[in-house]
């Protein structure tokens, strides 16, 4: 195989130019996944009547569905129903005015919430039930006990797993090309289509993802060290 370094470099530059889009989608999806994942996990862990069954069904469905299927279905629903919903809400925007990036964020958020909630639920269950009783004993309410005692201990278990979740979501953004959004992977391939240099393009994209993953791993380790100091672990 005749590998051309200059084509790798050009594809690499093309991929790098789309890093902001990949990071934007990843960051927003992670934030949404965390916010709603905590709610879903709490509902399932503490078995809130009625809502717990709905939360169970939500997690089962979106853990089982392929991400590319969720993206395509979301895009079809967006194209076919957005204008009618906007008209009902008396909005002047149309489907042409909305970036497909938002559709990608919307679609990726569902599996992110399902996955996050499972990790958060496992972290909640790792905290001994006696910790709740300790909080009640000193006069704390359930919310005060959760915020001051349960949450810090839960985070000790959850944060190490969060790094892997973020990296997985970042890699999943490569599927947004299905709805017309160009990210790192497809930025590299966009250049490759001009010269049929697909191996070079995939190699360039791999280098970019590797670099981004190293940064995320570094940030994750930094947070883990901070938590370790909180827990009293040796540096």
| Chain segment 85-139, per-residue pLDDT in tens | 888 888 888 888 888 899 999 999 999 999 999 998 888 888 887 877 788 888 8
Residue 198 near residue 185 (C-beta atoms within 8 A): no
Model's pTM, two decimal places? 0.85
DSSP state letter for 65: S
More confident residue, 189 or 69: 69
Cα–Cα distance, 173 to 105 (Å, whole number): 9
The listed CATH number (3.20.20.70, 1.10.3720.10, 3.40.605.10, 3.30.450.20) that belongs to domain 29-181: 1.10.3720.10
Residues 6+ apart with CB under 8 A from 58: 40, 113, 114
* DSSP letter for each residue of 23-64: HHHHHHHHHHHHHHHHHHHHHHHTT-TTHHHHHHHHHHHHHH
| Mean of the per-residue pLDDT values of the chain | 86
User: Average pLDDT in the 20-42 region?
Assistant: 93
Distance, in Å, from the CA atom of 138 to the CA atom of 141, rounded to the nearest integer, reads 9
Helix (H) or strand (E) holding 219: helix 198-231
Q: What are the tens digits of pLDDT across the range 159-217? A: 878 888 999 999 998 888 888 888 888 888 877 777 777 888 889 999 999 999 999 99
Please state the rounded mean pLDDT for residues 141-167: 82
């Amino acid at each position: 195989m005749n590998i051309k370094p200059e084509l790798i470099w050009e594809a690499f530059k093309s991929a790098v130019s789309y890093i902001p889009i990949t990071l934007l989608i990843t960051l927003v999806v992670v934030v949404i996944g965390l916010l709603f994942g905590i709610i879903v996990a709490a509902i399932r862990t503490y078995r809130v009547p009625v809502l717990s069954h709905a939360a169970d069904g939500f997690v089962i469905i979106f853990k089982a569905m392929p991400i590319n299927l969720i993206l395509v279905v979301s895009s079809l629903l967006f194209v076919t129903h957005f204008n009618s919903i906007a008209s009902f809400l008396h909005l002047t925007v149309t489907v042409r005015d909305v970036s497909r990036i938002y559709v990608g964020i919307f679609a990726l958020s569902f599996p992110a919430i399902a996955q996050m909630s499972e990790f958060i639920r496992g972290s909640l269950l790792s905290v001994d039930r006696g910790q709740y009783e300790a909080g009640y004993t000193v006069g704390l309410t359930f919310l005060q006990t959760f915020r001051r005692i349960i949450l810090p201990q839960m985070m000790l278990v959850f944060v190490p797993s969060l790094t892997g979740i973020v990296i997985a979501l970042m890699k999943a953004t490569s599927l947004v090309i299905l709805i017309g959004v160009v990210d790192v992977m497809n930025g590299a391939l966009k250049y490759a289509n001009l010269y049929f240099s697909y191996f070079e393009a995939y190699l360039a994209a791999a280098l970019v993802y590797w670099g981004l993953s190293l940064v995320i791993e570094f940030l994750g380790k930094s947070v883990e060290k901070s938590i370790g100091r909180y827990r009293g672990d040796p540096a």
